[in-house]
Amino acid sequence: MTAPRISFEFFPPQSLEASFRLWDTVQVLAPMGPRFISVTYGAGGTTRDLTHEAVTTLHKTTGLPVAAHLTCVNATREETLNIANSYAEAGINQIVALRGDPPKGTGGFQQHPEGFADSCELISALADTGKFTLRVGAYPEKHPEATDHKADVEWLKRKLDAGATEALTQFFFEAETFLRFRDACADAGITAPIIPGILPIENWKGVKKFSTACGTSIPAWLDEAFDKAIRDGRQDLLATALCTELCDELLQEGVEDLHFYTLNRPELTRDVCHALGVTPQVKLENVA
Ligand code: FAD
């Protein structure tokens, strides 16, 4: 089996300490030759400037293709397109285009009076500029706001038809969940790559809370396994083993790309990548 192509997602640091942590994480993961790295955009657009700074700094310092996440929340169309334009001017030509969520506890998505109504409008406007490779989000267990799985897949098709070329999925815990979704996408006539989002589990309590919020189901066996591993102090071992097994099952089913949610921590993602045969690519000039 050939090693997968990989990509890594980071969030923008909000303190000096967090900046150092991101830097250390990138130093460990960048040598593995990701296809791209991406930087999230805080809920409600709260990290607009920080995301911009992280994206442009990573673009300048790593030489890797960097994708900027961009949402429609809390901004006029003009403001959103200005952000995109400033990326293009800085030489950044990849965007993960999302509708986005408002800040926690402020209810559902509300269109800004002069803003984009939904992700399709944002994608079309960005595609019209002709400046970007566009990726979108996808939901193997359906988005919590979708009426049903079929409507959710149809909406994903509309997003891709609007000008996106790939979808990155929400995380999930069982390969079967992704494979069923991939089949449903194919049945709906989607031909663009659907890339599984992989979350190495750093902190089980936090992941459980996050899963509930975003509609990712937690199998009982996984909860029991982590309860026991935490009691025995070997949760990192379990996390690495389970994540590697999940990725391996996906690769056996023909998946070629994996998108890792790193949460700005390098260890588990690095260990899983190594186990899958993705190792640092040493530059010849460094060994000569
Ligand atoms: P959409 O897919 O446009 O909408 C979500 C669902 O609602 C759809 O699947 C569809 O079923 C339904 N829907 C919405 N509009 C319509 C419509 N007009 N007609 C019919 N159905 C509709 N959030 C952030 O704030 N910042 C980030 O950086 C970020 N990065 C993400 C990266 C990935 C890979 C993923 C999967 C999610 C990310 N999110 C991020 C979370 C995302 O913003 C939320 O899940 C948000 O609620 C939906 O955004 P979306 O673009 O996927 O929405």
pLDDT tens readout for residues 12-21: 999 999 999 9
Q: State which ligand 1 atom lies nearest to the alpha carbon of 119.
A: 3
- Report residue 24 as tokens: 């250390």
Which string of DSSP letters, residue by residue, matches 200-251? --S-HHHHHHHHHHHT----HHHHHHHHHHHHHT-HHHHHHHHHHHHHHHHH
**Exposed, middle or buried: residue 161 (CB in 10 Å: 0-12, 13-18, 19+)?**
middle
What is the Å distance from ligand 1's center to 209 Cα?
A: 19
Other beta carbons less than 10 A from residue 25's beta carbon: 21
Q: State which ligand 1 atom lies nearest to the alpha carbon of 214.
A: 45
Q: What is the pLDDT of residue 46?
A: 78
At which residue do the structure tokens 């038809």 appear?
161
- Report residue 121 as tokens: 């409008």
- For ligand 1, whether the C-beta of 142 sits within 6 Å is no
**pLDDT for residue 8 is more than 90:** yes
**pTM (global) more than 0.95:** yes
Distance, in Å, from the CA atom of 238 to the CA atom of 243, rounded to the nearest integer, reads: 8
What is the Å distance from ligand 1's center to 99 Cα?
A: 5
Confidence of residue 47 (pLDDT cuts 50, 70, 90): confident
Residue nearest to atom 51 of ligand 1 (CA): 98
Confidence of residue 278 (pLDDT cuts 50, 70, 90): very high
Q: What is the pLDDT of residue 2?
A: 87
- For ligand 1, whether the C-beta of 146 sits within 6 Å is yes
What rounded mean pLDDT belongs to the chain? 95
Q: What is the pLDDT of residue 126?
A: 98
User: Which spans in the chain are helix H?
Assistant: 16-29, 48-62, 77-89, 119-129, 149-161, 175-187, 204-214, 220-232, 235-252, 267-275, 284-287
Distance, in Å, from the CA atom of 28 to the CA atom of 37, rounded to the nearest integer, reads: 13
pLDDT digits (tens, 9 = 90+) for 75-132: 999 999 999 999 999 999 999 999 998 877 677 899 999 999 999 999 999 999 999 9
Q: What is the pLDDT of residue 288?
A: 56
What is the Å distance from ligand 1's center to 19 Cα?
A: 27
Nearby residues of 75 by Cβ (< 8 Å), 6 or more positions away = 45, 48, 83, 112, 115
